[in-house]
Amino acid sequence: MYFVDVILPIPVENAFTYRISETEYAFIKPGMRLAVPFGKSKIYTALAISVHQIEPRIYEAKEIEQILDETPVVNLAQLNFWKWMAQYYMCTLGDVMRAALPGAFLLESESIIKRISKTPIEPHLDAIDEDGLAILNAFEGNSILRISEVMQVLNKKKVLPSINKLIDLDLVALDQEIYEAYKPKLVKYVRLAPAYNEEEKMHEALDELSRAPKQR
Q: What is the DSSP string of 11-33?
A: S-SS-EEEEE-HHHHHH--TT-E
Residue 185: per-residue pLDDT:
60
User: Which of 43, 107, 113 lies closest to 73, judged by CA?
Assistant: 107
**Which residues neighbour 56 within 8 Å (Cβ) at sequence distance 6 or greater?**
3, 17
Residue 182: per-residue pLDDT:
41
CATH match for 2-105 among 3.40.1440.60, 3.30.360.10, 3.50.50.60, 1.10.3720.10: 3.40.1440.60
Give, for 86, the enclosing helix (H) or strand (E): helix 76-88
User: Which of 12, 31, 9 lies closest to 110, judged by CA?
Assistant: 9
Residue 183: per-residue pLDDT:
47
Residue 144: per-residue pLDDT:
86
Residue 156: per-residue pLDDT:
82
In the chain, where are the structural domains located? Answer: 2-105, 109-180
Residue 28: per-residue pLDDT:
96
Residue 196: per-residue pLDDT:
74
Low-confidence ranges of the chain (pLDDT < 50): 177-183
CB distance 166 to 172 below 8 Å: yes
Residue 216: per-residue pLDDT:
53
Residue 20: per-residue pLDDT:
95
- CA neighbours closer than 13 Å in the CB half-sphere of residue 125: 2
Residue 180: per-residue pLDDT:
40
DSSP character at residue 71: S
d(CA 32, CA 49): 8
Where b means 16+ CB within 10 Å and e means fewer, 117-147 reads eeeeeeebeeebeebbebbbebbeeeeebbb
Query: How many C-beta atoms surround the C-beta of residue 155 within 10 A?
Result: 8
The amino acid at residue 86 is: A
Residue 26: per-residue pLDDT:
96
Residue 214: per-residue pLDDT:
67
